[in-house]
Amino acid sequence: MFDILKNFEQKFAPLKKKGLRIDGLSMIDPKRKKHVIMISKPFLFDNRQLPKVYEGLEIKAKIEGDLPKEFTIKKDTIKKEYVWAPSKFEKYVDRCSDEIKRQFNDPKMTRNEMLDALAFGNYEDHKKKSVQLMKDGKIPPFKLN
């Protein structure tokens, strides 16, 4: 398992310049002995460059640093609002597209590419999953534009 982590670190080392930090292995389910690779990254990071699974281990990420104003939640509404609601990504991309293009060094980046990059690698998948979680009552309700 440590070989998988070492291979992951070598393969994705260039992303460290863009803010990726590889935190190591973590056991998330002791009963099933399920391990994951834990990483940290800034919010403004192109998630399309990372796999969801690497050599059988899931990649679990946490965001370091401040979130844009579209994603901040007041403490008293924390249980009533979904921080990763799809509309928040859309509002942020619409407001900051020039900054995103500069950060990713891609002046021709489309709105959909920006949404994919920020919304965990695939915006439409994130949107579908979020809607299903909302219907199942697992996350607070949110509006789709």
- At 40-79, the pLDDT tens digits run 999 999 999 999 999 999 999 999 999 999 998 877 655 6
Q: How many CB atoms lie within 10 A of CB 145?
A: 6
Contact 144, 86 (CB under 8 A): yes
Tell me what pLDDT residue 145 has. 66
Which of 64, 80, 105 terminates a domain? The answer is 64
Q: What is the pTM of this model?
A: 0.87
Residue 80 has pLDDT above 60, yes or no: yes
Residue 137 has pLDDT above 80, yes or no: yes
Domain that holds residue 129: 69-135
Question: Chain-centre distance of CA 143, in angstroms?
Answer: 20
Cβ density class 64-98: b for 16+ within 10 Å, e for less: eeeebebbeeeeeeeeebbeebbebbbbbbeebee
Assigned domain for 87 exists: yes
Mean pLDDT of 115-129: 96
Tell me what pLDDT residue 78 has. 56
Amino acid identity, residue 82? Y
Residues 56 and 76 in one domain: no
Residues 83 and 34 in one domain: no
Residues 24 and 77 in one domain: no
